[in-house]
Amino acid sequence: MRKLEFKTPEEKLEHDTELRRKKHVRDKAYRLANKEKRKEYGRWWEAQNVERRKGSWARYYRKNRAQVLAKGEKWYQKNICRVKEGNKQYQQTTSGKERDRRHRAKRRQFGFIPLNKSFSGAHGHHVDEKRVIYVPTETHEEIRHSFLANRHMDEINYHAFNFLEVEQLYELKI
C-alpha cells in the first residue's frame, strides 16, 4: 500500500474528511438495505452479552454524569416543542390522568392510595388524608363537602363506602 503525502495539513484534513464521508454513505446504504439482518444481530448480541451489558449504562452515567446531564439539557432545549407535545398526549392517557391526580393530591398534602379502580365518569374522593375512593361524578358533586373543614364528610363518606361495597360485591358475582 502506498503512503500518501500531502503538502499541507489542510490537504490531509480535506482528504480524511472526504474518506469519512464516503464511508458514511457506504455504511448508511448497508444499514438501510439490511435493517432486519442488523436488528436480528443486535438481539443475538444482547442475548450473548447479558452480563457484559448489565449495569453498563449505570457505570457510564456515574463516570460522565455532568456530560450526560448537559447533553440531556441541550436536547431538551432543542426539542422543547416535541417534549411539550409528548406531555400533552400523555396527559390524555389513563396513566397520565392518574399521574395528574396524584400530583394534585400531593400538592394539597394528601396521599393517594386508591381503594378501587378509576372508571369513565369518576371523581377521586379522599375519605382520609391518604385513601381515595373513585365514585361517580354525580355523587361526588351532589354533596358539597370539604375534607379540610370537615364539612359534610360523614354524609359523602357514607355514600362513597356504600358505592365501594356495591362495586366489590358486583365484582365477586362475576
Is 23 inside any structural domain?
no
CA distance 156 to 151: 10
In 3D space, the residue among 132, 95, 98 whose CA is nearest the CA of residue 113 turns out to be: 132
Q: What are the residues whose beta carbons fall under 8 Å from the beta carbon of 40, sequence distance 6 or more?
A: none
* Domain of residue 145, residue span: 109-173
Is 62 inside any structural domain?
no
Is 116 inside any structural domain?
yes
Domains in the chain: how many in total?
Answer: 1
Average pLDDT rounded to a whole number, residues 31-56: 90
Is 73 inside any structural domain?
no
User: For residues 105 and 126, is the Cβ–Cβ distance under 8 A?
Assistant: yes
C-alpha cell at 145: 363537602
pLDDT of residue 170: 82
pLDDT at 55 over 70: yes
Position with higher pLDDT, 52 vs 69:
69
pLDDT of residue 1: 60
In 3D space, the residue among 126, 159, 117, 123 whose CA is nearest the CA of residue 141 turns out to be: 123
Is 126 inside any structural domain?
yes
Q: What are the residues whose beta carbons fall under 8 Å from the beta carbon of 47, sequence distance 6 or more?
A: none
